[in-house]
Chain A
Amino acid sequence: MQPLTSSDRIALEADAGFIKPNDRLASVERLEIYSRSYWFRVMDSLYDDFPGLRAVLGRRAFHRLSRAYLADCPSRSFTLRNLGSRLEEWLQRNPQYSGNRHRLSLDMVRLEWAHIEAFDNAAEKVLGPEDLLELGPGFRAGLQPYVRLITLQYPVDDLRIHVNRASDDREAASNAVLKQKHRNLTGRVSRVKPERIFLAVHRLNFTVYYRRIDAEEYRLLSAFRDGQPIGRAIRDAFENSPASTDEERSRLEKWFAAWAELGWLCPPAKSRKRG
């Protein structure tokens, strides 16, 4: 169980008056059982949901960040699945908890929250060829709710995949191998260099994948997600792009083919709600 801080203990002692003691435990000790299990439960949930952030910050800093976040942003949902939903926004306001790895930490949190959403967000009916018969500039498509688009300043997608592999190896490896892997992971975190990345976090056959995409593709998919008509979405996506008209057409064909194969396009959100 999580150890209580001195301020936890003082608060418990102040609140314990309404609890009956018994022949083995004082009122505050009985209340403490609940307090400890609360912290254990919520800290454990963040620990499971943000392994990449743990790798970036290290165990102690992650623990400090988790305590502070949960004190400021306790669960507002009936499910622990949503416990980390406010972590990125909170960390932006509290950079002291991520020190000199603040930008890297923010990227990792953004990726890990997108991962959670991609895992179990809804999958709507996929737009098929019959839906695209009347394709014109005013046509609107939607983006599957399980496809999350994010921008990154660091290649945390690679880092997170590495963290997953290290975690998978944990049970199989000896202590010596584990220590070596931990050193490798720490080294990888400290060597990571800034790199502008546009990422689609999505799922296929119930497994979450990270797919790097072009800036223009990112803008176009974002416009679909936001309900813009296709003509305007394409115009905006290629604004300031050096690509020629032929190149634009070729890239659009390639993207639409990939999206069709992945089933990423669906009816726009408004029509889904009406339906």
Chain B
Amino acid sequence: MPANRFNAFTDYGIGIGLRIPHYQHILGNKPVVDWFEIISENYMVDGGRPLATLDMILERYKVVQHGVSMYFGSAEPLNKDHLRRLKALVKRTKTPWLTDHLCWGSVDGTYSHDLLPMPYTFEAAKITARKVREARDYLETPIAVENVSSYAEFHISEMTEWEFLREVVERADCGILLDVNNIYVSSRNHNFDPFEYLKSVPAGRVAQIHIAGHSKFTKYILDTHDHPVIDPVWKLYEHAIRLVGPMATLLEWDDRVPSFDEVHAEALKAEKYIHAPVAAAL
């Protein structure tokens, strides 16, 4: 189950996000890491240090691209310049699959640079799925969409978030980047059972899993990626692994980034769960 057509039949293990504060350590000490996830947009430039560093990383490590601004859920067409640059990067990294978010974030060419939650309607699912298919056909690479953390819900929604996720991925015939921290954050912000969410995820479409830390405020939880993973999220991760099998797993740590060793050690805690037996019912 873990190697499937949505992650190009790979078996990638446990990785971490490639972040600038770790460049020197990685290039100098060459630590053993299963794989790195890069933020695609950071390398969609024409030259200079970002691409030179990426090339050095690619000489030694496996890299998977993760995007933050494709905005499959925006009503406007895909940005052609964005797609062209993304395809050039795909050729460079040879990423086996690539991911972006199930969200919107732009209107008429103006960008919020945020991952905005979608209204869970059939019309939105149709438009989003069409754009995922268009991107995949142009990029000629499997795409997996990530469930985002959210702080707002729409009156207009016609289904739950997990029903919407299923609707989109089945219409688009694409994979899922299952972010268990995002499920936890949203479950607390919107009062739903995160295990019910997991139960509804089409397990055979999961291409990758994200884990991360977050920040708790009095009235809501914010997905800040600046803390270790908390126990309830590890429990969700364990449950997800039981559903989908030993899946490529990635720890995100984007703010107040500690040392490479600390981040990597946090990611490797996933080893405790990743080889759990798949649930009998599946």
Question: Which of A's residues lie within 8 Å of B, judged by CB?
Answer: 18-20, 22-25, 27, 29-31, 33-34, 37-38, 41-42, 74-81, 119-123, 145-146, 203, 206
- Min Cβ gap A195→B in Å is 29
Beyond contacts A20-B155, A74-B111, A78-B41: 14 other A-B pairs, Cβ-Cβ < 8 A, are A18-B156, A20-B153, A22-B191, A24-B219, A31-B152, A38-B114, A75-B113, A76-B111, A78-B82, A78-B106, A79-B41, A121-B47, A123-B47, A123-B48
Residues of B within 8 A of A206 (CB): 48-49, 52
Q: Which B residues, 244 to 268, have Cβ-Cβ distances below 8 Å to chain A?
A: none
Contact: B46 with A120, CB < 8 Å?
Answer: yes
- Assess whether B33 is interfacial by the CB under 8 Å rule: no
When C-beta atoms are compared, the residue in chain A nearest to B50 turns out to be A120
Q: Give the A-B pair count, Cβ closer than 8 A.
A: 89
Whether A25 touches B219, Cβ cut-off 8 Å, given contacts A18-B156, A145-B46, A206-B48, is yes
- The answer to whether B48 and A79 have CB atoms under 8 Å apart is no
Residue contact B48 to A75, C-beta cutoff 8 Å: no
User: In the complex the two chains form, is B113's CB within 8 Å of A121's CB?
Assistant: no
Whether B151 contacts A33 by the Cβ 8 Å rule is yes
The contact string, 1 if C-beta is below 8 Å from chain A, for chain B 46-62, is 11111110000000000
- Which A residues are CB-close (under 8 A) to B69? 78-79
* Interface residue range, chain B: 20 to 34
Residue of B45, B111, B116, B152 touching A20 (CB-CB under 8 A):
B152
Which residues does chain A contribute within 8 Å of B29, judged by CB atoms?
A: none
A120 touches B113 (CB 8 A): no
Q: Are A121 and B109 in contact (CB under 8 A)?
A: no
- Quick check: A77 and B191 within 8 Å, CB to CB? no
- Residues of B contacting A78 with CB < 8 Å? 41, 44, 69, 79, 81-82, 106, 111
Interface residue ranges of B10-61 to A (CB < 8 Å): 41, 44-52
B126 contacts partner chain A, Cβ-Cβ < 8 Å = no
**Contact A19 B154, beta carbon cutoff 8 Å:** yes
Q: Which of B45, B79, B152, B156 has the most CB of A within 10 A?
A: B152
Roughly how many angstroms separate A25 CA and B222 CA in the complex, as a whole number? 14
A-B contact pairs, 19 of them (CB 8 A): A18-B154, A18-B155, A19-B154, A20-B155, A22-B189, A23-B191, A25-B220, A33-B151, A33-B152, A34-B116, A34-B152, A75-B112, A119-B49, A120-B48, A121-B45, A122-B47, A146-B47, A203-B48, A206-B52
